[in-house]
Each structure stands twice: as structure tokens, then as C-alpha cells.
Structure 1
Amino acid sequence: MIRMLDDLDRQIVAALIRNGRAPWRLIAAVLGQQERTVARRGNRLLASGAVRVQSFPSPAALAPVDLYMLRVTAAPSSVTAVGTWLAERPETHWICALSGASECIVELFLERDAVGPFLYGELAALDGVRDLSLEPIFEYYRTVSGWRPDLLTLEQYEALSPSELPHFATRYAEFGMPRLDEPNRALAELLRANGRITVEELATGLGVSKATASRRLETLIANGAVYVRAVLDPASIGYPVEGLLTVRAQAPALDAAGRYIADLPATRWAANIAGRILVQTATRSLAELRGVMEGIAAHPGVTGVDVSLFAGIFKRSTVAYRDGKLPHTGDEDSKEGKPPVRSRKE
């Protein structure tokens, strides 16, 4: 069972969700706490693995890819092995097993000519895989960077950082943003190793001035080329019930419903998937989840809401779990404890 943090630790984590690179000084000011108290607790949270600050480049900033949601139906005894195999793939961002059916759901990116080989040359060959479907992500209404658990006020969140612009995730290429060049790829790799790396450390690693490193970093984050995210289990801050909602709405009302859903404190992630809205939620209880669903169902134009609870997590924000647990920073290279996944071709 995941241990729930105390009130101040939960507030610090909420601050990191909004701004993973926020200085302890800023977080302390927003929370009305002493800086040394926040720094001590924040560093302890990071060291314990309760939360980690992960950075990774936008897939579209690296290659001409499209974003998809993949559902993989598998034999119940094979779901864990299939989910673990998927978690090791660099194309995947987030993976969970659902309780409503024997399946994994996956957020991933692929170049168009790689879709067929990935689905039918590799994935379909795994033992236990029974069916699969891939649908395009048309629009993000919320990503986990914009989750706003009701642990802080709206004013506190805004003081930490402006609200995210989720459309950058799906429209990076449309805005004419350039792909990362070699110097910026090097910066992104340093950030991947430590999302809270200091500007001084970045400058040293890149062999440039602090001003240059700071300018590059701010530009990459502002234009959506690089994401900085706090990765955690919502249960640790008091939201143990995670679910995936499927929301159907009349076509003219779809975007308005998506924006409404994105603004709910329970919404961690929401996107238009081939004309439906998929929503990741995190709530304190099933009763709270029911209230969220009833509120969505009552929104104009919404015609139906279904839910399937999470039964297991294999990956969050590019971080692969180990034996169902979020690994500490630097532990990802360990291969121990992975169930073998066999191909039918073997």
C-alpha cells in the first residue's frame, strides 16, 4: 500500500506538479512556510522516490511522429508481461492495466511508416495478445503537467507557474516549431537525467554561459519542445482511486465538454481520441468519482460516460515502473524483476 504524505508534503508535491523546477524559495513563499523547511522536506521527498521530477523532449520535436492511444487486449495471465514489455519501449509515455477488461491502455508516438511493423510485426506476436486497436490523439485538453489537485488554491498554482498550454503537445509541428538541433538535444539529455538540474550545472555540461543555458532552457519549455513533470502515485497525496473515463458527446459540443473536463480538479489528463474524450481521473473515493461522472454527464451535449478503474501502472510520463512501483531516479537501468515476454515466433 502506498503511504499517504502529511499535509505540508502533499502541498510541496502539488507545487512540483505545477512547476517541477520551481525553486524551494518560491514554493516556500507560495505556501507561507520557511524556505529551509520546504527545502529539507522537498529534498527528502525527491530522495525517497515519493516524487521525482522527470524531463523529456516532445516526440514531435525529435521526429515526424503522430500521437496515439493503443488498447491491447490480452489473456489475464499475460497482462502484466505485455504491459512490462510495452513499458520498455521508447515509443510509450504512459501505460496502465484496466479493471473493466483484460487490457492495457497505452499513450505512445509513432512515425506513420512504423505503425504496421510495431502493431503486427512485434506487438501481435507476443504471447497472450488477443486483440489490439490504435486510435489517433486529435487534441489534448489537459496533460498531467496541468493537473490541479485541490491541495492548493488557484491563486497559489498561478503564482508557481501559468497554466499549461496542452495544445502544444498535439500541434507542435503545426505551429512551425523547429526540431531540436544537436545543442538543444544535449540540453534535453541533461534535463532527462535530472529534471531539477541547476542552470549552473547545465551551463557546465553544455560548455556555455549561464545566460545562454538559461535562455535555451526557457525557450524549450515555453514552446513545448521539452516537458518537465513531477511523476508520482496520486495515492501518496490522497487520491488513491484512479480511473479512465470514456466520454461521448455530440460533435458540436465535444470541445466545450473537453475544456470543462480539463478544468476539474480530478482530471489528470484529457484528450480527444478519434472523436471521444478519454479522461484520467484521480479521486479520494469511489463516491467522489461518481460525483465527477455525474457532473460530466450533466454537461450540455454529453451523451454518455463510462469508467474503468486502474488495476496496475506500468509507466508514467516515460518512467517505467518496477514491480508495480515508481523507481528512484537512476534505477531504470536495472533489469531485475521483469517478467519474460515471449513471442509466438519463438
Structure 2
Amino acid sequence: MLPPLDTSDQALVHALQIDGRAPFRRIAEVLGVSDQTVARRYTRLRSAGVLRVLGLTEPLRLGQAPWIVRIRCAPGASAQISTALARRRDTTWINLTAGGTEIACLVRPERPGEGVLLLEKLPGTPRVVDVAAHSLLHVFFGQERSLLTKSGPLSAGQVAALSPRDAPESPPADPGPAFPVDAADHRMFDVLALDGRASVGELAAATGWSQTTVRRRMAELRAAGVLYFDVDYHPRVLQRNFRSLLWLNVEPSRIEEVGRALSAHPEVAFAAAITGDANVHVSVTTPDVTAFYRYLTGPVAALPGILGTGSAPVHRTVKGAGPLWTPQWGQW
């Protein structure tokens, strides 16, 4: 079992969530430790499978149409189906919910139409009982921001010192037209999806660009909200043992207000507007089921314009934010 991280490890993880590509030298200066200490702790955490830094793309900025999909399965079938889904490049955040009888996942097609093809195939898959697909319209909280952003130990001054200058402060309300990218950009995305801290030399080799061009292009992509960096970490890093997905039916005129309010809740790891009767989707993490009950009957119940709620406890996460990762926790 993974023990709690000590204060220094928590500070490092928080720093990486703020800027996954921050040089160890800058992190060390902000944390008041040596470069070697930061490098050693990061290597230890990554080697133990506790965390990894990912470079990911925002599908809405690329003109893609992501979907949040709920799949009800026959008893005993969800593990096999979720494993097959996890092998696909266009799926992320695959969770087994409702005692393992339902799968919830995000489909991020690489090109227009690919996600639709998957959705067309799912209803005919053996032992799939029902499929519900919700188009993701707008992200209120998530992407480069996570629970680590809210609960990390760094001070406001330390956060400001680590915040990247070329990254947008928050997702735009209107992402605008698709940002143009080419084959070399996609090769860079492939490398960063596996290791967000891949060296500029590795990225130059993958793209065929000079290192100067790599740096300039990454800055452009981050500033445009196309490329962001996230930390994929073991759930016990935050010592919160109960996770649930919420589906909220909100009056259309209050969706934006509700989304902003949810973004500030310390329990919320992700919040987005979606299509369907349940038009706001939320991922919640609490210490235990009692804390979840207090959250559901307190802050959620107090939100304006709530017409109905539904929840599905997460039994297991099969795949996280990036490519399929099955780390061995090793000696910790």
C-alpha cells in the first residue's frame, strides 16, 4: 500500500502540476532545496509509478469533438470491455462505476468522425447492454488544473513563481476556430503524451526541427491553449479514497454559474458542460463516503438551478489522462 507522501514530495508534485516542464533548477529555487534533491525525488516518484508528467492536447482547440460515454454491461463483462477500450489511442479516463457494471470514459478522436465510429460500434458489442454518449461542450475545471492545484502545500507566492508565462490562465469560453497543426506537431504530441518532460533534443529528433524551433513551437501551442501539461498520479497521493462521478441536470441559464462554483469546490477534480438531460458532468474525490454524502447534501444541493442529480461511485480507474499506464508500485 502506498503511504502518504512527505511534505517535500507533496511540494514537488504540486510544483509539477503548476508547470510540468519547469526546470529542476527553478523548482529547487522555489522550494528552497538543491537541484539534485529535486531530480532525485522526481526520479524516485516516477520510477515507483507514483506519478508521471504528461503533455496533452485540448481537443476543442484542435477542432475535435470529444465525447463522455457511459456503457452499461452485462454482469462480469465490464473488465474485458474496458481493457479493450483502454488499448485504443482515442480513449482516456476509463472508469468502472456502479459496482463494476458500468464504464464511463472520454473519447478523444484524433480526426473528425473517429469518435462517432467507435460509438456506432459499441451498441453491437457483445454483452454491452446500453450506451449513452454526451458531447463535451466546455471544460470549467480540469486539464492542466487538478485537485493538486487546490490542495497542494505551496504558497501563493511559490505558485506565482512557478506558473508558466506561455500558458493561458483558464479555458476560453469560446475556443474559436481549430488551431492549425501539422504532422511534425503530432509527432511531438506523441512523445510528450508518453513523457511530458521529454528533452528538447528528443523532441527535435522526433519532429526534425531545430531545438530553437521546438522551444518556440511549444510556447505557441501552450499560449494558444492547444498543449498543456498534467500530472498522472496514483490516487492515494491525495489520501482521498472515495471517488464518484456526478451528473447534474441544470437550468440552461445557470450552467455557467454552476460551472464556476464547482470549479472552486475542493472536492471537484473535473467539471464540464455536456449535452443531454444531465448537462453538467463532475468528477468528485473525497476522503470517504461520509464526506461525499456531506458534499452532495451541502455544496451540491446549494447550487442554483439544480433540477436533478445522479451519481456513480468509481470502482476502479482502468486508464487515466494519457496513454495506457500500468505501473508496478514497487518498493515504496
Q: Is TM (by shorter chain) over 0.5?
A: yes
Runs (4+) of structure 1 exceeding 6 A deviation are none
Mapping for residues 1-346 of structure 1, pairs under 5 Å? 1-59=1-59, 64-99=63-98, 102-110=101-109, 113-114=113-114, 117-120=117-120, 122-147=121-146, 148-153=149-154, 155=156, 156-161=158-163, 167=171, 172=175, 175-274=176-275, 276-293=279-296, 294-322=298-326, 326=327
Which amino acid counterpart does residue 43 of structure 2 have in structure 1?
Answer: N
Deviates further, 29-38 or 199-208? 199-208
Matched residues, number: 320
Q: What is the CA–CA distance in structure 1 between the aligned matches of 2:122 and 2:304, rounded to whole Å?
A: 39
Deviates further, 124-133 or 20-29? 20-29
Distance change >3 Å, CA 200–CA 91, structure 1 → 2:
closer
Answer whether contact 1:53 1:196 (CA < 8 A) is retained.
yes
Structure 2: runs of 5 or more not aligned: none
- Alpha-carbon shift at residue 176 of structure 1 (Å): 2.8
State the percentage of identical aligned residues. Answer: 26
Which amino acid counterpart does residue 180 of structure 1 have in structure 2?
Answer: V
Q: What is the CA–CA distance in structure 1 between the aligned matches of 2:204 and 2:160, rounded to whole Å?
A: 28
Q: What is the CA–CA distance in structure 1 between the aligned matches of 2:154 and 2:301, rounded to whole Å?
A: 26
Deviations 1:54-86 (A, max 9, x none): 223344566x53111111000120011111111
Distance change >3 Å, CA 126–CA 204, structure 1 → 2:
closer
Structure 1: runs of 5 or more not aligned: 329-346
Q: What is the CA–CA distance in structure 1 between the aligned matches of 2:115 and 2:320, rounded to whole Å?
A: 22
Answer whether contact 1:143 1:270 (CA < 8 A) is retained.
yes
Answer whether contact 2:75 2:101 (CA < 8 A) is retained.
yes
Which amino acid counterpart does residue 323 of structure 2 have in structure 1?
Answer: V
Distance change >3 Å, CA 157–CA 287, structure 1 → 2:
farther
Distance change >3 Å, CA 76–CA 321, structure 1 → 2:
farther
Deviates further, 27-36 or 209-218? 27-36
Q: What is the CA–CA distance in structure 2 between the aligned matches of 1:165 and 1:131, rounded to whole Å?
A: 38
Q: What is the CA–CA distance in structure 2 between the aligned matches of 1:152 and 1:67, rounded to whole Å?
A: 33
Which amino acid counterpart does residue 92 of structure 1 have in structure 2?
Answer: T
SS where residue 144 of structure 2 aligns?
helix
Q: What is the CA–CA distance in structure 1 between the aligned matches of 2:42 and 2:211, rounded to whole Å?
A: 25
* RMSD between superposed Cα atoms in Å: 2.7
Answer whether contact 1:96 1:312 (CA < 8 A) is retained.
yes
- Alpha-carbon shift at residue 246 of structure 1 (Å): 2.0
Q: What is the CA–CA distance in structure 2 between the aligned matches of 1:154 and 1:260, rounded to whole Å?
A: 22
Q: What is the CA–CA distance in structure 1 between the aligned matches of 2:209 and 2:128, rounded to whole Å?
A: 49
Which amino acid counterpart does residue 279 of structure 2 have in structure 1?
Answer: R
Deviates further, 20-29 or 150-159? 150-159
Deviates further, 36-45 or 25-34? 25-34
Deviations 1:224-257 (A, max 9, x none): 2223221112312322222112233322221111
